[in-house]
Amino acid sequence: MAEQPTVNRQVLGSSPSEGALPSSHEGMLQVASYSFTKSWQNLPVAARIIRLFLGVTFIYGGWNKATDPGFLNPKSPSYIGVQISSYLETSPISFLLKNMIDNATAVGWMIILTEFAIGIATLTGVALQLASLGGFLISITLWLTATWTVRPYFLGSDTAYAILWLALFFLVRQNTKGRHVTALIPDLRDRREVMRIFGVAAASVAAVFLGRRFPTSNPTPEAGSAIVKVADFPIGSTKEFTAFDGTPAVLFRTKAGVFAYSSVCTHQGCTVNYDKTNNLLICPCHNAQFDPTSDGSVISGPTKIALPKIKVAILGINIVEI
């Protein structure tokens, strides 16, 4: 009988330089299978931290919207349609947003489901590369809408999220090249892969309806603390408010945007008042005067220190402290 030739086959993802498999594995082709544990172990510590943070944050974002009774209610000021409408004047992708307003409720459902799905897929490692790209696209979209007017740009969180998602994508791709389980496009011919994707979808739907059963009376804002609604605060308006730390402050809106200052005089701590006639903030104690259009700088008086700035921005339908 003629001797059968030996066939050397490599493990999926190995390079030619790694040589053939040991003789005990000759004639076998080993394919990497899904493993939740290995999906974490295969990543460096930095990637694990980013992955955990983004996964948890997106699930929380979906939960925050699912438990907000006004997010899908057309009569509510926090309705997704109202938010989309508020971006039309400032967003560079307003031409796309206009087509969403008539179907805002459906868009809202899609946003909630997508955030849950991306968060769950990121934590479980199912279609992780695809989930990372999805998170990146959502973050870029939010930057082009919700935080586009935030200046300087680094005060808005969406650009940071976009960079984190992009970094996670390349970290996963670099550390798991050739592994079937982390392919960019899931293999829909694999029944187990399809079942895992359906599992993520089912968990996302369940999370949405669970959140709807526990509505919050005061939903947590997406970012910052709301001071006033944009619609109630036209250009040329001013408003006194209390900052995060309890400091009295005054808010301004001009054609250049929104800005705010502490109302505590830098001389001896008296509370300054806004003089609309002269467009100045004036201390009633020792007549120190500050110019709100010039970074709160001193115009006259016994102090040389400008009023401290309070960071504010237009975010959706609200002007918020950030």
Is the residue at 160 inside a domain?
yes
Give the pLDDT confidence score for residue 90 in this predicted structure.
Answer: 78
Is the residue at 265 inside a domain?
yes
Residues 159 and 259 placed together within one structural domain of the fold: no
Residues 147 and 106 placed together within one structural domain of the fold: yes
From the list 224, 132, 293, 139, the residue with the least C-alpha distance to 148 is: 139
Residues 258 and 151 placed together within one structural domain of the fold: no
Is the residue at 10 inside a domain?
no
Q: What letter represents residue 160's amino acid?
A: A
Per residue in 257-304, pLDDT tens? 899 999 999 888 899 999 999 999 999 999 999 999 999 999 999 988
Picking from 143, 178, 212, the residue at the C-terminal end of a domain is 212
Residue-number span of the structural domain to which 131 is assigned: 36-212
What is the rounded distance in angstroms from the CA atom of residue 147 to the CA atom of residue 312?
12
pTM for this prediction: 0.61
Per residue in 23-73, pLDDT tens? 444 333 333 456 788 889 889 999 999 999 999 999 999 999 999 988 898
Residues 182 and 229 placed together within one structural domain of the fold: no
Order of strands across the sheet with 225-229? 225-229, 318-321, 312-315
Give the pLDDT confidence score for residue 24 in this predicted structure.
Answer: 41
- Please check the confidence at residue 185 and state whether its pLDDT lies above 90: no
Q: Which two tokens stand for residue 93?
A: 């992708």
Picking from 184, 212, 240, the residue at the C-terminal end of a domain is 212
Q: Which residues contact 5 (CB under 8 A, 6 or more apart)?
A: none
Residue 5 binned pLDDT confidence (cut-offs 50, 70, 90): very low
Residues 181 and 75 placed together within one structural domain of the fold: yes
